[in-house]
Amino acid sequence: GLDDALELRARLADKPSVVVVGGGPLGMEIASGCLASGCAVTLVTQGPPLILQLGPHLAEVFVRAARERGLTIVQTAAARPEGDEGTPRVILAEGGVLEAEVVLTAAGDVPNTEWLAGSGLPAGGPVPVDARGLVRPDVAAVGDLAAFPTVRGVRRVPLWSSAIEQAKTAARALLRGTEAPPLDFQSYFWTEQFGLSLKAVGDLPVEGPPEYVDGEPGGGPALMRWPGADGAAVAAALDYRIPVPRLRRMTKAAA
């Protein structure tokens, strides 16, 4: 939240050494900001950064930019932050220890559903819902805790754009039941880090190299497309100015 951001900005004023635990979008964005503030930064991750969220092609673009700007990346099977505010450190599964003046964690999220215990609703993880966001006819679940049907199976899509569309769909379903239209959601993701910006529409991650609609491999602004087996594509703009509606139209263009 805002309070965390303000505290982090204050702590970075003296350019401390920083360890960031987590190689997803948030961890990489935090690492990028710390580097831009003049800090020496080490990122601890279980696998290649961003590969689970973006896929190998896009992940490699950002990892290369991160290394070029001075990010140190440490891969480990598991990591455990410990110590107090004065002596924070990160213990690696292999036995190594990383010390820093500031340790930050951005290692993913777990649905907070424990409070549903005894309600008759799932309380041990994501709440599965139908295509309209309903757990049962009189109960809806939306947002980061809801797992809904997608082309890749029933899963969570923890994006703010997803939460908004889920809420609209569920509200209609609570009022109109099965007469309400099911969720028709197309993921939209963006990030800015290590001097690069990315906007993507469609189901990430993507596998394999893209089709280049504009630009070319090797660097520079690029407009890319990954055709999908189901006829839907993923469109991505890397350092490329394009309105989001046009990017959405690209996902429906003929392959």
Q: For position 255, what pLDDT does the model report?
A: 43
Q: What is the per-residue pLDDT across 56-98, written as a single tens digit (0 to 9) for each?
A: 999 999 999 999 999 999 999 999 999 877 789 999 999 999 9
Predicted local distance difference test score (pLDDT) of residue 32? 98
Selection from 210, 205, 199 nearest residue 239 by Cα? 199
Q: What is the C-alpha separation between 143 and 238, in angstroms, rounded?
A: 27
Assess if residue 255 is contained within a domain. no
Based on the structure, what is the number of domains in the chain? Answer: 3
Please tell me whether residues 167 and 197 are part of one structural domain: no
78 CB-near residues (< 8 Å, 6+ apart): 46, 92, 93
Q: Which of 74, 105, 136 is the last residue of a domain?
A: 105
33 and 78 together in one domain: yes
Positions of the chain with pLDDT lower than 50, given as ranges: 255
Residue 158 falls inside a structural domain: yes
Instruction: Identify the pLDDT of residue 254.
Output: 53
226 and 200 together in one domain: yes
**3-class state of residue 171 by DSSP:** helix
Q: What is the pLDDT of residue 223?
A: 98
Kindly report whether the peptide bond that precedes residue 49 is cis, defined as omega within 30 degrees of 0. Answer: no
| Helix H or strand E encompassing 191 | strand 188-193
What global pTM score does this model have? 0.89
Domain span at residue 208 reads 188-250
Give me the torsion for CA of 74, 3, 36, 161, rounded to 10°: 80
